[in-house]
A and B are shown apart, each in its own frame.
Chain A
Amino acid sequence: MWRKLFASVPAFRAPKAPCRSFKSSSRRAEKDFFKDLEAQFRAFREKAAAAMPGSDWSPFELTPGLPPERADVVIIGGGVMGWSIAYWLKRKERVRDGLRVLVVEKDPTYSQASTVLSCGGIRQQFSLKENILLSMTSADFLKNINNHLWVVNEDPVDLQFNHSGYLFLASEKSAHIMEENYRTQRSAGAKVALLSPSQLKERFPWINTEGVALASLGLENEGWFDPWSLLNALRRKAVSMGVYQCFGEVTGFRSSSNVAEITDGDFVNVKRIKYVNVQMPNSLEYQPVETAVVVNAAGANSGKIAAMLGIGLGPKESMSGIPFPVEPRKRFVYVVHCPDGPGLDTPFLIDYSGVYLRREGLGGNYLTGMSPEEAEEPDISNLDVDHEFFQEKVWPRLAHRIPAFEQLKVSSSWAGFYDYNTFDQNGIIGLHPLVPNMYFATGFSGHGLQQSPAVGLAVAELILDGGYKTIDLRAFDLKRIFLQEPMLESNIV
C-alpha cells in the first residue's frame, strides 16, 4: 500500500513510467489508499463476524454429522422398522423432549436396504393369529396415515396403495392347511373368501386351474403400496418430532459384564451396553454414544450386530453359544412385460409352487419372483441378479399357471435381502436374556414392511410401558429360540 503511494508521487516514480501531472495522480493515489483501507476494513469485519458466535467457522475442525454424545434410546437401522419404532417412541413420550432417540443408519442412499427393495405387499392371510393382528393394525395405520404422519407445510402422504388383494392357490396336499388358516383369519377379523377351482376360473379366466384344489382371496386391507413413501413419511414425521438421525455404522459396543448363575448351575456373562460406537462414513473416526437402551432393527445385518456383543461366540453348550438366528438371504424380483397379461383385477397371486406375481402400473408390466429351495440359496456377498434362475425356475411355473405369460419380456430385475430368521421365519421381538438392554425387532423374513407400523407400536410399548398393550406379541419373544419351540408359519413367500 505504501509502495503504491510512493510510486504515484512523481519524485519517486520509475523513469520508464509515463509522466502525469502532480495533482491528479495524488488524488488517484488518495482514492486507491482509501479503497485499500476500505477493503482492509471489510476483510477485518468479515473475519470478526466469522469468529463471533452464530457463524459456522470454528478454530477446531469438527466432523459434520456426528451423533450426540448421549441418547436415551439408540435404534440401529434406519429402515421402515427403525423409523416406525422411533416415531412411536416419540408419540408415546408424555413430556416434550422426554426421550432422546437416535436412529443410526449405515447407508444414506438405502442401496441395499430391504425396505426399499421389497415388493411392498400387505396381506392378512397368515396362519398365526399374531401375524394377522399385526397386519390388520398396520393396515389401519395406513388407512389413516395422514392423521398420524402429516407434517405442517408438507405434502400429504400418498402411498399409492393398490387394493387388489392377495390370491393364494393351494394344491390337494395343502388345501386343509388353507381351510384352517381361513378359519383363523376369519376369527381374527380378516376379510378373506375361499374359492373353489370353478369359482376361480369364472372369476379369473386367465388362470390355469390345473392342480389347484382351493384358493383364498383377500377382500379388504390387502394389496401393495410404495415402501419408499412410507419410509420417508415416517422419517419426516419422526424428525419433526425431534428424533436425531445419524448416518454411520455401528462397529462395536462398550458394555459392563456381570456373571449370573442360571438354574442348572451354569454361569453366564450378562452384558449391559453402556456405549454404542458409531463410526462415520469413509473415516476411522467414531463417536461412542452413551445410551440406556439399544434397539436392534438392523434387518439383514442384525446377526452381525448381535455377534459384536458376543452372542453366539461362547461355548457351544451354554446360552451364549447359541447364535442369533437372523441372516441375510438374497431374493430376486423380475419386472416382466406381457402384452396379453391379466388386467386391473390381477391380485397378488401366490402359487403353491412358490412363484408370485403382481401387477405394476397400468402398462402391462408385472413383478414376479420365487423363493429358492433351502439347498440352492444364492450367494449373499453382492446383490447381482441370477437370470438363469428366472429361465429355469420361475418362468416355467409362471407360464404353467398363467398361459398368457408364455410370451413375455424381462425388462428389469433387482435383488434384495430378506432378514431371514433361520429358526422359524417369523419376527423376533423382545429382550435378549444375555443383554438386558438390547431390544430386537428383526427376523421378519420378508413380511417386515407390512407389519412395521404395528411392530413399532409394540416395541415402543415394551420400552416405555414394560409390556404389550395393543397386541400381545409374547409369542415372538427370544426365549422360544432357547427353549427350541418354533412358531412356524405355513404361508411364507
Chain B
Amino acid sequence: MAASLLSHGVRRCSAHTCAAAAAAVRRGLSSAAPPSVSSRVLLKLSHYFYDVESIVGWNDWARTKLVRRKNKFFGYAQQKFGDNIGAAYYILTLRGSFRFAGQSEWFRPDSRGRFSFEFINTPDAQIEEVDLSGTLINHNGLDNLMKQNKLQTLSLRGCPEVDDWFLARLHVFGESLVELDVSHCCCVTVGGLAALQNLRKLQRLDISGLPRLQSPGLVRILLEEMLPDCQVTGAEYEQGLIQPDSQDDNEASTSSGVKHL
C-alpha cells in the first residue's frame, strides 16, 4: 500500500502536464523513455492553450475506437463458415499469420494487409501456429480463437494491447500450447505471468524486453520453478540484481543489461 502511494506521488504529473504525455504513458507505460520531440512541443503548447488537451484526447478516443473495432467478435464468419475459418479470417484481418494443422505453409497477408481467401478451402483443419506479433489484439479479440484447442505456438511479440488479463484467458489452450512469445509487450507484469501456471504443456517462453518487470532474473527463476518443462528465454539471471561492490556505482548504472532493483 505504501509502495503504490509512493509510486503515485512520484509519477504524479504537475498541474500543467500535457495529456499527450499521459496518453503515451497510458498506452505504453514506458516512463523510462525520454519524451519525444512532439511530446515536448505539445507539452509546451499546452501551457498556453487548453485546446491541446482536447485535441490529444480525440487522438486517444480514436485509438480506443480502433482497438475495439479490431477486437470485435466475427460472429457471422464463424456461423457461416465454421469456427476454424472464422478464426483464420480474424487473424488475417488483424495482419497476423497462421498455419493449419497438417499443412506446412503459412497463410500471411502482404505488407499492405491484403490476403488471398484460399484458406476457405480447408474448413476442417484446426489452427496450429499463430503469429500475432505487432497486432492490436486484446483480451476481447481472443474470443475469436477460443475454439482452437490444438494451438501449439502463439507469438505476441510487441503487441501493445496484450496485458495480464489476456494472459489469464490463455488457460483454454492449457492442453496444447507449447510455445509462447510475449516479448516486448509493454503492459505485461508479473501478475499476468503468474497466470501462465495453467499452461502445463508449455516448453518455450520468451519474456525479453518487458519494461514493467523490475527484476527479470528473479521472474525467470520463479517461472522455471513454476513450469519445470519450460525453457524461459529473454532474461538473464543477473538482470535486476544489485551490484555486489558499490565502488563502481557510476559505472554500474551506465552498463547495459544490468538494471538496479
Contact = CB atoms under 8 A, between A and B. Distances in A.
A226 B4 contact: yes
B197 A156 contact: no
A232 interface: yes
Given A146-B26, A147-B64, A155-B13, A344 B4 contact: no
Interface residues of B, number: 41
Nearest to B218: A362
B134 interface: no
Contact of B225 (A203, A223, A344): A344
B139 A164 contact: no
Nearest to A345: B197
Contacts of A226: 1, 4
Interface stretch (B81-89, B111-119, B162-170, B252-260): B162-170
Contact of A344 (B5, B22, B193): B193
Contacts of A256: none
B168 A220 contact: yes
B143 to A, nearest CB: 13
Contacts of B219: 344, 362
B35 interface: no
Contacts of A154: 12-13, 22
Interface in A126-164: 143, 146-147, 150, 152-156, 158, 160-164
Contacts of B218: 362
B195 A164 contact: yes
Contacts of A116: 1
A68 B53 CA distance: 31
Interface in A218-239: 219-221, 223, 226, 228-229, 232
A143 B139 contact: yes
A207 to B, nearest CB: 14
Contacts of B165: 143, 161, 163
Contacts of B8: 155, 229, 232
A254 interface: no
Nearest to A161: B191
Contacts, number: 93
A91 interface: no
Interface residues of A, number: 31
A155 B11 contact: yes
Interface string B53-91: 100010000001000000000000000000000000000
Interface in B95-146: 139
B192 interface: yes
B222 interface: yes
B164 A344 contact: no
B53 A153 contact: yes
B13 A153 contact: yes
A143 B168 CA distance: 11
A226 B3 CA distance: 10
Nearest to A222: B168
A344 B171 contact: no
B190 interface: yes
A108 B17 CA distance: 27
Contacts of A223: 168, 191, 194-195
A160 B247 CA distance: 35
B122 to A, nearest CB: 30
B242 interface: no
Contacts of A165: 195
Contacts of A229: 4, 8
A343 interface: yes
A261 B226 CA distance: 65
B1 A228 contact: yes
B41 interface: no
A220 B53 contact: no
B29 A163 contact: no
A480 interface: no
A397 interface: no
B203 interface: no
Contacts of A432: none
B15 to A, nearest CB: 8
A191 interface: yes
Nearest to A359: B194
Interface string A319-344: 00000000000000000000000011
Interface in B1-47: 1, 4-5, 8, 11-13, 17-19, 22, 25-26, 29
A321 B226 CA distance: 56
Contacts of A147: 64
Given A153-B17, A163-B167, A220-B168, A362 B26 contact: no
Contacts of A155: 8, 11-13, 22, 25
Given A154-B12, A344-B225, A162 B4 contact: no
Nearest to A347: B197
A23 to B, nearest CB: 54
Contacts of B139: 143
Contacts of A152: 19, 22, 53, 57
Contact of A164 (B12, B194, B200, B215): B194
Contacts of A228: 1, 4-5
B198 to A, nearest CB: 6
A191 B57 CA distance: 36
B223 interface: yes
B171 A362 contact: no
Contact of A150 (B26, B169, B190): B26
Given A153-B22, A154-B13, A362-B190, A344 B197 contact: yes
Nearest to A236: B8
Contact of B168 (A146, A160, A221, A344): A221
B19 A161 contact: no
Contact of A156 (B29, B64, B192): B29
B39 to A, nearest CB: 14
Contacts of B1: 116, 226, 228
B139 to A, nearest CB: 7
Q: Which of B8, B12, B17, B200 has the most CB of A within 10 A?
A: B8
Interface of A: 116, 143, 146-147, 150, 152-156, 158, 160-165, 191, 203, 219-221, 223, 226, 228-229, 232, 343-345, 362
22 contacts: A143-B139, A146-B26, A150-B26, A152-B22, A153-B13, A153-B22, A155-B8, A155-B11, A155-B13, A161-B165, A163-B192, A163-B194, A163-B195, A164-B191, A164-B194, A219-B171, A220-B171, A221-B168, A226-B1, A226-B4, A228-B4, A344-B225
A-B interface, 3 closest residue pairs, ranked by CB to CB distance from nearest: A163-B195, A345-B197, A162-B191
Interface of B: 1, 4-5, 8, 11-13, 17-19, 22, 25-26, 29, 53, 57, 64, 139, 164-165, 167-169, 171, 189-195, 197-198, 200, 215, 218-219, 222-223, 225-226
Given A154-B13, A155-B11, A228-B1, 4 more contacts: A147-B64, A161-B165, A226-B4, A229-B4
